């Protein structure tokens, strides 16, 4: 089945140690998103790619970076994780910019120790 | 800035009772989407409403989009324990589906 896959499902990292989260999709969707979701909150958009065009949200910290080497894969790099970065990180895709629901991956729960 | 308010924040119901969650936007929306997130899970797309006054049904779920395209509701008839989760509405402005504005969600608990 076509889907969005995130690895790993759980990630523990040390304070200040760089960490990379990965996302892959078999839907061939143009747009890929990275969201941060903390407990009992709505997902918060960090950035998205439309094809190779990168779009950063104004309030996304510089500590967060992203790469999309091809249509299928997208990575979230956290350069120096702080305790406040502990959260669920959700990758999502959508077919285009105008309509249609998002397909989310199962998420990566990041713990910072 | 543009906001989508969603109420109630929490709702406890007895199994078999009905449930409704409401979303209101400060500005006109191009479309509104609804997602369900089970505890420990990820958001799952339920439906998208595009037209003014639109009503769509999915089994026991009824979705409405207001005439002014500023408000929306999700109504569940005769809730079941499988309906437990958080329901989010998310709206987008014209021509920009890449920027969803999310409501804070309504967390539904169903007592068997």
Answer yes or no: are the C-beta atoms of B93 and B31 closer than 8 Å.
no
Closest CB to B42: pick one of A48, A98, A107.
A107
Look at residue A66 in the predicted model and tell me its pLDDT.
97
CB contact under 8 A, B31 and A99: yes
Domain annotation covers residue A38:
yes
Look at residue B99 in the predicted model and tell me its pLDDT.
84
Look at residue A97 in the predicted model and tell me its pLDDT.
63
Fold of B4-111: Immunoglobulin-like (2.60.40)
For residue A30, what is the domain's CATH number? Answer: 2.60.40.10
pLDDT digit string, tens, across residues A71-110:
999 999 999 999 999 999 999 999 876 667 999 999 999 9
Domain with A68, as residue range(s), is: 4-101
Look at residue B106 in the predicted model and tell me its pLDDT.
98
Number of domains in chain A: 1
Q: What is the CA radius of gyration of chain A?
A: 13
Look at residue B98 in the predicted model and tell me its pLDDT.
73
Domain annotation covers residue A33:
yes
| A61, B6, B13, B35 from A42: Cα distances, Å | 18, 11, 22, 11
- Size of the A and B interface in Cβ pairs below 8 Å: 55
Chain centroid offset of residue A61 CA:
14
Answer yes or no: are the C-beta atoms of B79 and B87 closer than 8 Å.
no
pLDDT digit string, tens, across residues B58-71:
999 999 999 999 99
Write down the domain spans for chain B.
Answer: 4-111
Which residues of chain B are under the pLDDT cut of 50? none
Beta strands B10-14 and B106-111 are: parallel
CB contact under 8 A, B45 and A103: yes
Domain annotation covers residue A60:
yes
Chain centroid offset of residue B15 CA:
20
Closest CB to B42: pick one of A94, A97, A106.
A106
A chain contacts of residue B99, beta-carbon cutoff 8 Å: 45
CB contact under 8 A, B97 and A48: no
Q: Where is A54: in which H helix or E strand?
A: strand A53-56
Answer yes or no: are the C-beta atoms of B105 and B5 closer than 8 Å.
no
Q: How far is B23 from chain A (nearest CA, A)?
A: 14
Look at residue B1 in the predicted model and tell me its pLDDT.
61
Look at residue B97 in the predicted model and tell me its pLDDT.
67
């Amino acid at each position: 089945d076509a889907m969005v896959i995130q690895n790993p499902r759980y990630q523990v990292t040390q304070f200040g140690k760089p960490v990379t989260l990965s996302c892959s999709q078999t839907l061939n969707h143009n747009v890929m998103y990275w969201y941060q979701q903390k407990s009992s909150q709505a997902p918060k958009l960090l950035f998205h790619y439309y094809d190779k065009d990168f779009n950063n949200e104004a309030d996304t910290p510089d500590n967060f970076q992203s790469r999309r080497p091809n249509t299928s894969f997208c990575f979230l790099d956290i350069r120096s994780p702080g305790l406040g970065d502990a959260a669920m990180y959700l990758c999502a895709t959508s077919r285009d910019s105008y309509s249609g629901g998002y397909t989310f991956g199962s998420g990566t729960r990041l713990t910072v120790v | 800035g543009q906001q989508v308010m969603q109420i109630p924040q929490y709702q406890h119901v007895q199994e078999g009772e009905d449930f409704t969650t409401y979303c209101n936007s400060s500005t006109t929306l191009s479309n509104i989407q609804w997602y369900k997130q089970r505890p420990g899970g990820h958001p799952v797309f339920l439906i998208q409403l595009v037209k003014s006054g639109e009503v769509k049904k999915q089994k026991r779920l009824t979705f409405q989009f207001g005439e002014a395209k500023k408000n929306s509701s999700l109504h569940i008839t005769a809730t079941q324990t499988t309906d437990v989760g958080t329901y989010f509405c998310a709206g987008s402005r014209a021509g920009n589906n890449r920027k969803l504005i999310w409501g804070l969600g309504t967390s539904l608990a169903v007592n068997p």
